[in-house]
Amino acid sequence: MQNQNRPNQNQNKNTANGQQRSRTTSPHQAQNHRSQSPMGNQRNPNPGARIAAAYTQTAYPHQNRNKRRLKRRKGAVSGFAVVLVVMIFVSLSLLIVRSIDWEYIFSDKTRQPFSNPDNIVYGPYITEQEHDAYLTKYVTVDADQIHRGPCILVNFDVPYIFEEDEDVYSVFKNKTKSYKVTSGSVFLRMEMINALNDMMDAFYAKTENRNIMVNSGFRNAKQQQEVYDSKLQLNGAEYAEKYVQKPGYSEHHTGYAMDLAVYDEGDLEVEGDEAMWTFDGKNEYFWVDQNCDQYGFVLRYSASKEDVTRIAYESWHYRYVGIGNALTMTNMGLSLEEYVNFIKDYSYNGTRYYITADNGDIYCTYYVKSNGQDGQKIPIPKTARSYQISGNNIDGFIIAALVGNEQQ
């Protein structure tokens, strides 16, 4: 409610807290200041004057001046409030904008959640050691383990070092129904049999063909000598040199190599008319060549690498190296000889080699040089869902870790 008074008239008003306050409205006073009147502690002696003033105020120009002044004062107060609100809003916005990690949002981390974490810059709040403990776990290996594992190189130059009791299993007893095996005495590492089951199940689902046959697997030195002698006798020295390694230098000693064949049921009317054909990797069998890396296998002696492997093209000989390594070898077009050197450029604390499988699984691979001591600690990313540590059979370890999936 506005005070609208005649000039020279005091008007008293009850305030909210019950105290009385007077407001002088004489023209010169009103234009200069508001003041407590010493006369103000009285009720308006003439309340009717207020009502009369309401109807006659326009007759007094200085009354309108008061009104305009009041309006200006009100305008200044609300203007100040608006400025205050804007300032608060701007300050809060700045705080929020500053608290957002723009660097993270615009970095590759959003698109590559499993990118190499080694780019992190260490600040005052976390030491490199603390950061390492947060990201890394260590697996202990002994020095002679460089001769063990799916990625060991065995060739003319690098012999296999036999174990007293090789950890191999019958394919016949452990295989699925999607393929065949020539006898109950074909043995492979269990890890490889599991991968072979997955690959052959996928091949059967695609082709309804279950005629792929595992013809040969693990061989000890004596068995390799027998193979060599029989090839020598049957095909001559030149052939034996070209296709068969001498005992100690065959991949078949590792338990991670196999020869495939194709079983032909033949004409059921004719007894004995069944045969085993060479696995040539053609027609529908080309699928194996094209997809084996997704299951951890490589065609070990390809036609394009004869000068590197010094073994003639073998369309039937497959080697298990584990998925991460097989994907990298296939992607880079490397033989195992070349891969063992290639991976030496990748290390846990330097750059790791990242590769993604068809199903979205992301693998990182790297090399750790052997220090020649038992109890060496091999670093593994703590985020790894699974990992494989393999010797290279020469001087160190090749690690392949499954660190995530692109679709998750």
305 touches Zn ion by CB under 5 A: no
Given a contact cutoff of 8 angstroms between Cβ atoms, the answer to whether 318 and 330 are in contact is: no
Nearest residue by C-beta to Zn ion?
317
**Measuring CA to CA, how many Å separate 131 from each of 104, 121, 137, 201, 289?**
18, 10, 12, 43, 42
Q: Which of 182, 191, 184, 254 is nearest to 224 (CA)?
A: 254
Quick one: which segment of 186-194, 252-260, 263-271, 276-284 binds Zn ion (CB under 5 A)?
A: 252-260
Instruction: Kindly state the smallest distance separating residue 318's Cβ from Zn ion, in Å.
Output: 8
Other C-beta atoms lying within 10 Å of the C-beta of residue 175? 19
- The H-or-E segment that residue 387 falls in is strand 386-391
Binding segment (CB under 5 A) for Zn ion, from list 159-167, 201-209, 254-262, 264-272: 254-262
> Quick check: 220 and 263 in contact, CB under 8 A?
no
CB nearer to Zn ion: pick between 148 and 317: 317
Minimum separation from the CB atom of position 292 to Zn ion (A): 15
Please identify, using beta-carbon distances, which residue of 300 and 352 lies nearer to Zn ion: 300
The stretch near Zn ion (CB under 5 A) out of 95-103, 153-161, 268-276, 316-324 is 316-324
Nearer to Zn ion, 260 or 389 (CB): 260
Minimum CB distance to Zn ion smaller for 141 or for 186? 186
Q: CB 250 → Zn ion: shortest distance, Å? A: 8
Burial label for 253, CB within 10 Å (0-12, 13-18, 19+), is: buried
Q: Which two tokens stand for residue 369?
A: 């040089």
Determine how β-strand 376-381 pairs with β-strand 396-405: unpaired
**Where on the phi/psi map is residue 310: left (φ > 0), alpha (ψ -120 to 50), or beta?**
left
Single out the residue of 377, 372, 370, 376 nearest to residue 392, CA to CA: 370
Indicate which residues carry an active-site annotation. 314
Calculate the CA 240 to chain-centre distance.
Answer: 46
Least distance to Zn ion from the beta carbon of 252, Å?
A: 6
Size of the site for Zn ion (CB under 5 A): 2
Kindly state the smallest distance separating residue 251's Cβ from Zn ion, in Å. 7
Pattern 122-161, Zn ion, x by CB under 5 A: ----------------------------------------
Q: Which stretch binds Zn ion (CB under 5 A): 28-36, 282-290, 310-318, 358-366?
A: 310-318
Closest to 246 (Cα-Cα) out of 147, 144, 158: 158
If binding is defined by CB under 5 A, does position 260 make contact with Zn ion? no
300 touches Zn ion (CB under 5 A): no
State the minimum distance, in angstroms, from the CB of residue 207 to Zn ion. Answer: 23
Q: How many CB atoms lie within 10 A of CB 192?
A: 28
Segment interacting with Zn ion, rule: CB under 5 A, options 26-34, 126-134, 253-261, 397-405: 253-261
The alpha helices in 58-207, defined as continuous H runs, are 61-99, 102-106, 128-135, 171-174, 190-207
219 binds Zn ion (CB under 5 A): no
Is 122 or 156 the residue whose CB approaches Zn ion more closely? Answer: 156
Part of the chain binding Zn ion (CB under 5 A), chosen from 112-120, 222-230, 257-265, 384-392:
257-265
Q: Which two tokens stand for residue 288?
A: 């194996």
- The separation between CA 118 and the C-alpha centre of its own chain, rounded to angstroms, equals 14
Give me the least distance between CB of 322 and Zn ion, in Å please. 19
- Residue number with CB closer to Zn ion (321 or 380): 321
Smaller CB separation from Zn ion, 213 or 389: 213
User: Among 317, 326, 339, 400, which residue interacts with Zn ion (rule: CB under 5 A)?
Assistant: 317
Nearer to Zn ion, 191 or 259 (CB): 259
As a whole number of angstroms, the longest Cα–Cα distance in the chain is 140
Q: Could you give the CA distance from residue 6 to residue 342 in angstroms, rounded to a whole number?
A: 101
Q: Is 259 in the site for Zn ion (CB under 5 A)?
A: yes
Contacting positions for Zn ion (CB under 5 A): 259, 317
